[in-house]
Copies of this chain bind each other. A is one copy, B any other.
Amino acid sequence: MRDSVAAEKLSERDKKHLWHPLTQHKTSPEMLAIARAEGALLFDEDGKKYVDGIASWYTCMYGHCNPYILDRVKKQMDTLDQVVFSGFTHEPAIKLSEELIKILPRNQEKLFFSDNGSTSTEIGIKMALQYHYNKGKKRNVLLAFEEGFHGDTFGAMSVSGLSVYNGPFEDFFIEVERIPVPTTENLDEILNRLKERLQQNNIAGFIYEPLVQGAAAMKMHGAEGLDQILALLQKHEVLTIADEVMTGFGKTGKYFASDHLRHQPDIICLSKALTAGLVPMGLTTCTEKVYNAFYSDEVAKGLFHGHTYTANPLACTAALAAVELLQTDEIQQNIKNIIGWHQDFNKIIKDHPKVKETRQTGVIYALDLNVQMERYGSLRNKLFEHFMGQGVFLRPLGQTIYILAPFITTKEQMERIYEAIEKALEIV
């Protein structure tokens, strides 16, 4: 009996009890079973290999099962697995804080841990709301970009302008006001409208994905317009919350997307590549000014938020090893190489008749097809199947194809991705 179960394919056994995220199981019933992973490669249960062109949702930037990271985490597992982080502390969290502070934008001083990107933005929002509350000011409006995406819990969903199938939950959202992403054309209007709006003195915080909006299909905007918006908001004591869950840790060519700007955020949200694809962790960092608004003889002015596994020692150890790798000459050189390869590929592909637009920020490269597609529609699925057939894991977002491969991807592996994209243009 057990043998017959073991002989059944994983992809079949999957169907019995698993409900997958972001999936309509009736129209997309098949899940490919991945058996192992190494570097930039995934291997399915039949042994077929795939280049992980999106680093498993932008997490495994130093490669899957990186031995440098694994060795460190295995040692930590033998020492301390988990302890309550309220009243207690431990070396992995302390060392990580010391090393992260060195590479974070210089105004960041304090770190508040949680478990994923959604919780990191919820905490950012709570910091902004309570900051004003603790100062005795009633500010109960949040500002966000149209088409921003900040997570799937209720607070995070509320600030996300990109609402794919959010219908059932809209009655339960926090009220949020939105502004368009700045362009050279609309910037003056945005600033003028904001100046007027700010007279009401009730905007607590502004949450934004700096430079690249990931879930909106890697939409990109320049630093200059965003900088002017941040300057205006900070003048009116609106706390600025940079959601760098996707953009953080080297992907934009600098350590953080905020490093491209002159005005640094009050709060930064991090996750994904933070732990190098090993285990989940979220992190919300902030300035001394934000922290000080909570530091008080009144207990109630503290931030009474906490998840059980906050600052899990294994996750902190993975993150510390990742921060070390990020700063090595090897990884920094690889990042430069990938940026150059994308630029060369772009020259070849950008004028293709099926290509509407291309864009690049650091190692993030995206192209929009000249074809209308639904976000979860059949043409999108056909493209996905094409890429997998070519041994390349890319995950088209509607009509957008994008690459966000691990920093350790070789030139040969990246060329396999480029070729698969060129072939894709023939079938759409």
Contacts of A5 in B (CB 8 A): 98
Question: Once bound together, how far apart are the Cα atoms of A45 and B372, in whole Å?
Answer: 60
Q: Could you tell me the distance in whole angstroms from the C-beta of A388 to the nearest C-beta in chain B?
A: 9
Complex contact B87–A32 (CB within 8 A): yes
Residues of chain A in range 62-115 having any CB-CB distance to chain B below 8 Å? 64-65, 70, 73-74, 77-91, 93-94, 97-98, 100-101, 109-115
Question: Do most interface residues of chain A lie in helix, strand or loop, or is the interface mixed?
Answer: mixed
A residues whose Cβ falls under 8 Å from a Cβ of B: 5, 10-11, 13-14, 16-28, 31-37, 42, 54, 56-60, 64-65, 70, 73-74, 77-91, 93-94, 97-98, 100-101, 109-119, 122, 125-126, 129-130, 133-134, 140, 151-156, 158, 164-169, 171-172, 174, 271-272, 277-281, 286, 291, 294-312, 314-315, 374, 376-377, 384, 395
Complex contact A119–B153 (CB within 8 A): yes
With A168-B129, A172-B129 as known contacts, state yes or no: A310 contacts B21, CB within 8 Å.
yes
B78, B82, B117: which contacts A307 (Cβ < 8 A)?
A: B117
With A302-B23, A307-B118 as known contacts, state yes or no: A81 contacts B93, CB within 8 Å.
no
A-B contact pairs, 6 of them (CB 8 A): A22-B302, A26-B296, A27-B299, A34-B89, A87-B395, A115-B119
Question: Once bound together, how far apart are the Cα atoms of A64 and B14, in whole Å?
Answer: 31
Complex contact B82–A59 (CB within 8 A): yes
Which one of A97, A115, A134, A314 has the greatest number of beta carbons of chain B within 10 Å? A115
Question: Copies per complex?
Answer: 2
